[in-house]
Structure 1
């Protein structure tokens, strides 16, 4: 950002009608200290007006005419004028020395140079004018401030000690007239513009705090804020110090109370400083909890413009990234206002023809939603905002809102509430919220991000076992089946696959729904295809290992529920098992993907168990053999039968119990295949499997003999 030129301009103040009432309301919250309290907690300046280089006022005397000659000589040089005849009068040693210095400075300026040496005596004269409490010091400050607008003056002003002098003026604990303070600030701001050497002088003794204290002076706030802005721009040490000195909280408080002039440029600087402070860790850590309240109040103000709203939302996001502010937001009932800030994003005026504005508002909504997701993930959230709260009712209404980000917000926050079976069952049985969620899945208008958030919420609801039947009866399987072809957003496909697995767990009724024909018309080709067929089609198309694994787990879950019942003579289970193998060629292949994946050993074990269950029936044996044609699956089988972890897990602390469990399931699989294969094994496969079983028996015998020998 470019630095600004601080001219000698004045700005009219515009007060707030309800400022006192608003301040009282904020104080009543108990977590919003006053500006004075905030400042009192900050350390004193390292440098001060009592330092040895800065004299006491009224410690000397000087004739008025000598003061005036000093001032005229100083001003003439700064205005690049030739010295006047009066300035040549050798009436005092100080005046002659000053004239000589300023003549040299003026000569340097004519050559395009600025030498700090001749300005040393300017600093001496300034100290003299201060010590005699001269009324001309304010005019001298104005002349120097005007000169400092010329970039070539800036470095010499700092090097000569003039900058330090005026820093001590604004930091003085003595009563200083407004004019002198104003021009001192102007000089500081102008001489620090794009001049890091001068900024270092300011930061070294924490003079940013002295400047910030002047925010409370209504006569000079319009200069003090731009001065801090100039010092901080593109200079991280000042940026960090300003933030640590709680400038954001102070500016926000002043804005809330209507104490900052209604000037577009000045307000722009103020809101920029608020946002800049939130980018610094020190600014966030040092801020009172009540800064959230101030940001929210201003963001919801009817007169807020987009640029200001943007700065506030960016700041809000930075604070709500921290647990302390998340908790403060919850316990002080500010989550509702945060929701309102999200709503406000849809009514605030932006330039819709500006691509930048359109992108910015989208990013701001995303940031608010991210913050609300973090807030609602806190354990405190459910305590302060139960299901029967007004906030929860608002969120429920947003599930079917017209705006994507409102829908996403509702699903994420309510989904975070759905963390216990009791709450999930209440949401389904009493609030019927699953019906609205499923209607969104069936909508042709819902976009990927909305679908993903809806599916995430439904996944939470499906964790409660008693909800699974209700969800399935409401049509969740047909609804998610539409999304298995949603290949533009793999996360949607994955979540939709996960829900299918969740709802069929231990449920014959829901498995029957998954294996139901796509068409009831027996003459339709879709009659021979099921919802599981669509899921298997996704398995063949996708390159996503997590999706493949999830589909495999769905097949494994069917086998785990149906196979034992079919073995016990359950007619329905036998019918479902026949459908599973008759209508779904290659149904064991997804289970093979569970075995070859290496991320979750427990999932691999689940896969071996499922294949073993399949192989216990003649119809299942055929599809298992088809799965074992995959060289990768066969290689893992050989390793498992050898009692070793997969090669990808060598050198890791693989759970030996898990390895033994896998070995046992693989052995059951082989024995079942050799018993039931009915000539379906390809040439060579039977011999390989027989060898694996024989090797297993040999190792057992060798182990037994070794044990006897010992």
Structure 2
């Protein structure tokens, strides 16, 4: 009995819908943004208490004029903008003004500016907001950015936005602008932000409706192409915070802000540590928002992030325990309702990748041992997936085959699927309707699991599984499909005379047709001759060996049906033993090699079989292995995973070597008894010598 395997995916009308809304969330606790922010490690501000050093208004004015003079001597500064526009901010964050005038800008020049900033702060001067605005505007010029960082001005404003003291909105706004502008394309300044762990303080301003339209682009700019910042915002649970704000409706009024927000969610979701620290409800928010989203770029960010979370065991368990698989299926289904620009190859390709990621995530989720317990065959999901097997959308078909195939990991479930759901008939139809390689691979994986249950083999054969897989033996563009199709031929013929009869049935009933002398096994043997794939060759050999194990003992006992099948096996299939040689010469599985020696011994039990064995022994490698096996000089290979397992592994291989020697000895004896002139004289002498030497060793 073979163990049912976990299935994972390879590279319209009649669809049963997964209802996308409302999503049940009663089992999830969604922490408030305030609660999440309060749990984050905060940066400490080094600023003195504001107002600790009173200063007259006249002195404040002098400091402001002195500061403005310093700036103007370095570069004429434009008058501050009267209004703040998000698109203008975005431009200033992403690129320096191309026509920026060059001037003297170095940390030394700005050192006196920093001193004035501290004085304006400690004196609680209203002029500080104007200074921040001037500096923020100046920092649009790329040549200002490094000096602003090295002079300590950037840190001053980082400390300012991190302060727990009451700071007026205008000052905070221009401080954030300076931080964002100074970090544009400037990793040196970004590192200052990361080293001081200031991102949590900036994220904290997401809660302020008067600052969120600035704070989110600032974080975006700090993170852009700078992985250390990605990691830090992920640890600061930026993904959950933004998702919760989106869910609560706080970010829905500005399309540009939405783009930044979704991009940040996806950036944060690429960090393993950030995912590990996220609240369980993060995946509920991702699924909920994805199901409500109809714009491609936004949906793609949410769906890709959801897939990243579900790639971890932690959130696979969360998804199953909270009954969220329906919602994830809904996200996949919803992806086909998103309008795409079909003229954009990039957009079409990106959506294809997004669907593939969702499917891979669902494959991993359904492979978990707890999945079948939460979603038994009687669940509504099974009926939905059954309806997806034959739809026009390939990714839905793949999804259905993979998940149901992963459910089909016990004989009882497999039997119900075939006997009651008739799922095998749909899968066989998929094999026959010209589906592409990925769909075929998924359908075959499902069928392989169904075929393991012994009672299913007859039903599969009666439904036409052998003709269906035989056309795929020529599917040379996808070797995985050929391999799986060959495996199913072996599975359905195990210990089944009726199914072996079908495999040995003529391809045509017309006696005048050349196809009347060819069988489905002939097609499988043709694949053996054409393929370069060792696993496929070995699998075909295992099929032939399985047939011999079933019919040879019965034929020896006088079963007429078995005798007829044995005659067809050898008379219609020249080279039928050559795949057995592939079993023997492969080195990966010693047990499979042993099956090969046993199968050749069974073949040599009659004259027709002896001719096939002699043909196999014309392979010099097989002949050499026969000699070394009988003389005890065959190499015993051992590849234990740990050094402590070496002795046990060698012992197992030695036991296999003894078994191989016994089977090889029987093979030689049967050959000498039944070869009826098939062996050349010199070859017969060699066999006799081998038999004698082996007998002495025994």
Deviation at 1:598, TM superposition (A): 0.8
- Of residues 676, 679, 694, the one that matches 1:678 is 676
Aligned residues: 647
Query: Hey, what's the Cα distance between the residues in 2 that align with 1:649 and 1:676?
Result: 36
Query: Hey, what's the Cα distance between the residues in 1 that align with 2:151 and 2:474?
Result: 73
What residue ranges of structure 1 are gaps of 5+ in the alignment? 1-21, 85-108, 701-710
Q: Which residue of 2 aligns with 1:61?
A: 54
Cα RMSD, aligned residues only = 2.1
Of stretches 496-505 and 384-393 in structure 1, the one that deviates more from structure 2 is: 384-393
Q: Which residue of 2 aligns with 1:92?
A: none
Deviation at 1:694, TM superposition (A): 1.7
Q: Which residue of 1 aligns with 2:465?
A: 476
Q: Does 1:127 align with 2:118?
A: yes
Q: Does 1:639 align with 2:628?
A: yes
Q: TM-score, normalised on structure 1?
A: 0.88
Deviation at 1:70, TM superposition (A): 2.3
Q: Which residue of 2 aligns with 1:595?
A: 584
Of stretches 547-556 and 70-79 in structure 1, the one that deviates more from structure 2 is: 70-79
On the 8 A contact 2:75/2:101 being kept in 1, the answer is no
Q: Which residue of 1 aligns with 2:501?
A: 512
Q: Which residue of 1 aligns with 2:510?
A: 521
Of stretches 127-136 and 414-423 in structure 1, the one that deviates more from structure 2 is: 127-136
Q: Does 1:270 align with 2:261?
A: yes
Query: Hey, what's the Cα distance between the residues in 1 that align with 2:267 and 2:605?
Result: 68
Q: How does 1:640-659 map to 2 (within 5 A)?
A: 640-646=629-635, 653=650, 655-659=653-657
Query: Hey, what's the Cα distance between the residues in 2 that align with 1:40 and 1:223?
Result: 21
Deviation at 1:434, TM superposition (A): 0.5
Aligned residue for 1:465, secondary structure, equals coil
- Of residues 220, 223, 227, the one that matches 1:236 is 227
Q: Which residue of 1 aligns with 2:66?
A: 73
Query: Hey, what's the Cα distance between the residues in 2 that align with 1:491 and 1:126?
Result: 68
On the 8 A contact 2:180/2:219 being kept in 1, the answer is yes
Q: Which residue of 2 aligns with 1:15?
A: none
Q: Which residue of 2 aligns with 1:438?
A: 428
Q: How does 1:443-458 map to 2 (within 5 A)?
A: 443-444=433-434, 446-458=435-447
Deviation at 1:493, TM superposition (A): 0.8
Query: Hey, what's the Cα distance between the residues in 2 that align with 1:165 and 1:591?
Result: 78
Q: Does 1:394 align with 2:384?
A: yes
What residue ranges of structure 2 are gaps of 5+ in the alignment? 1-19, 78-99, 640-645
On the 8 A contact 1:77/1:83 being kept in 2, the answer is no
Q: Which residue of 2 aligns with 1:306?
A: 296
Q: Does 1:557 align with 2:517?
A: no
CA offsets, 1:491-522, max 9 Å, x none? Answer: 11111110000001111111111111111222
On the 8 A contact 1:587/1:623 being kept in 2, the answer is yes
- Of residues 534, 545, 557, the one that matches 2:523 is 534
Query: Hey, what's the Cα distance between the residues in 2 that align with 1:407 and 1:192?
Result: 47
Structure with max Cα Rg: 1
On the 8 A contact 1:295/1:312 being kept in 2, the answer is yes
- Of residues 411, 414, 417, the one that matches 2:404 is 414
On the 8 A contact 2:405/2:445 being kept in 1, the answer is yes
- Of residues 324, 328, 332, the one that matches 2:314 is 324
Shift of the 428–25 alpha-carbon distance from structure 1 to 2, 3 Å rule, reads: closer
Query: Hey, what's the Cα distance between the residues in 2 that align with 1:529 and 1:292?
Result: 56
Q: Does 1:149 align with 2:147?
A: no
Q: Which residue of 2 aligns with 1:630?
A: 619
Q: How does 1:484-503 map to 2 (within 5 A)?
A: 484-503=473-492
Deviation at 1:121, TM superposition (A): 2.3
Aligned residue for 2:206, secondary structure, equals helix
Shift of the 27–420 alpha-carbon distance from structure 1 to 2, 3 Å rule, reads: closer
Deviation at 1:110, TM superposition (A): 8.3
Q: How does 1:350-429 map to 2 (within 5 A)?
A: 350-429=340-419
Query: Hey, what's the Cα distance between the residues in 1 that align with 2:614 and 2:75?
Result: 104
Query: Hey, what's the Cα distance between the residues in 2 that align with 1:347 and 1:110?
Result: 50
Q: Does 1:203 align with 2:201?
A: no
Deviation at 1:279, TM superposition (A): 1.6
Deviation at 1:111, TM superposition (A): 6.7
On the 8 A contact 1:305/1:349 being kept in 2, the answer is yes
Q: Does 1:169 align with 2:129?
A: no
On the 8 A contact 1:26/1:32 being kept in 2, the answer is no
Shift of the 396–195 alpha-carbon distance from structure 1 to 2, 3 Å rule, reads: same
Query: Hey, what's the Cα distance between the residues in 2 that align with 1:146 and 1:111?
Result: 15
